[in-house]
């Protein structure tokens, strides 16, 4: 076998080619070692410039890794876009009303604030009479005047026992139906 003269440049090129090969094999979890079969032969062939030991392209390992990383980055971007895109909407509480507003229907009558507690379809007690109807709605501030409400509708009829301090009041939900919301006085907000 004829020996070739190895120059510094040939040595550096062979070393660089070997290093690239080692990096590729490392990425494929196949790290060559001096004691591995064929390592010495590959090194000698690379140093001599043998064409059979030229660098070979990986068989899809690096390409698959790049695709996987690209897909993961794309999915992360989609999640980030989705997380930040909806931030311009007001927060909604479990009641379904926007945060910062009154969450439970209430109204003021005879100086007290009454809060919704239940619904009934039973006939009202005989002593309860129509004493007026809701005439103003404010869903942000607590009612400050009689017949002002939050989360009710203008025109809903209020039923109370006239001339007495009522603990319980009724508000008719619909004009032609016998469905009433039951409200109780909250003595803390007077």
Are 110 and 143 within 8 A, CB to CB? no
CA distance 165 to 31: 89
CA distance 151 to 171: 12
Q: Compute how many other C-beta atoms are within 10 angstroms of the C-beta atom of residue 181.
A: 19
pLDDT above 90 coverage of the chain, percent: 41
pTM here is 0.52
Closest by alpha carbon to 25, among 52, 69, 61, 53? 61
Lowest mean pLDDT among 129-133, 135-139, 186-190: 186-190
- Which residues partner with 130 through β-bridges? 159
Cα-Cα-Cα-Cα torsion 144, 149, 155, 158, nearest 10 degrees, comes to -90
Mean pLDDT of 166-186: 92
How confident is residue 15, by pLDDT bands cut at 50, 70 and 90?
A: low
pLDDT per residue over 57-74, tens digit each? 545 556 777 777 777 777
Give residue 83's pLDDT.
Answer: 61
How confident is residue 186, by pLDDT bands cut at 50, 70 and 90?
A: confident
Q: Compute how many other C-beta atoms are within 10 angstroms of the C-beta atom of residue 159.
A: 21
Q: What is the 3-state secondary structure (H, E, C) of the chain?
A: CCCCCCCHHHHHHHHHHHHHHHHHHHHCCCCCCCCCCCHHHHHHHHHHCCHHHCCCCCCCHHHHHHHHHHHHHHHHHHHHHHHHHHHHCCCECCCCCECCCCCCCEEEECCEEEEEEEEECCCCCCCCEEEEECCEECCCCCCCCCCEEECCCCCCEEEECCCCCCCEEEEECCCCCCCEEEEEEEHHHC
Give residue 22's pLDDT.
Answer: 60
Are 97 and 151 within 8 A, CB to CB? yes
Give residue 54's pLDDT.
Answer: 47
pLDDT per residue over 112-121, tens digit each? 999 999 999 9
């Amino acid at each position: 076998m004829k020996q070739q003269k190895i120059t510094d440049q040939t040595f550096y090129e062979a070393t660089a080619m070997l290093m690239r090969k080692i990096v590729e094999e490392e990425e494929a979890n196949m790290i060559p070692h001096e004691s591995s079969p064929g390592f010495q032969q590959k090194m000698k062939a690379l140093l001599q410039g043998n064409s059979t030991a030229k660098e070979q392209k990986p068989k899809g390992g690096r390409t698959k890794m790049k695709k996987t990383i690209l897909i993961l980055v794309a999915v992360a971007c989609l999640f980030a876009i989705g997380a930040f895109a909806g931030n311009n909407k007001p927060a909604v509480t479990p009641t379904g009303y926007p945060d910062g507003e009154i969450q439970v229907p209430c109204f003021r009558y005879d100086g007290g604030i009454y809060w919704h507690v239940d619904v009934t379809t039973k006939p009202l007690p005989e002593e309860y009479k129509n004493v007026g109807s809701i005439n103003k709605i404010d869903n942000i501030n607590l009612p400050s005047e009689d017949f002002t409400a939050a989360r009710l509708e203008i025109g809903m009829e209020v039923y109370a026992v006239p001339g007495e301090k009522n603990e319980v009041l009724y508000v008719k939900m619909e004009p032609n139906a016998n469905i009433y919301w039951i409200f109780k006085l909250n003595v803390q907000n007077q």
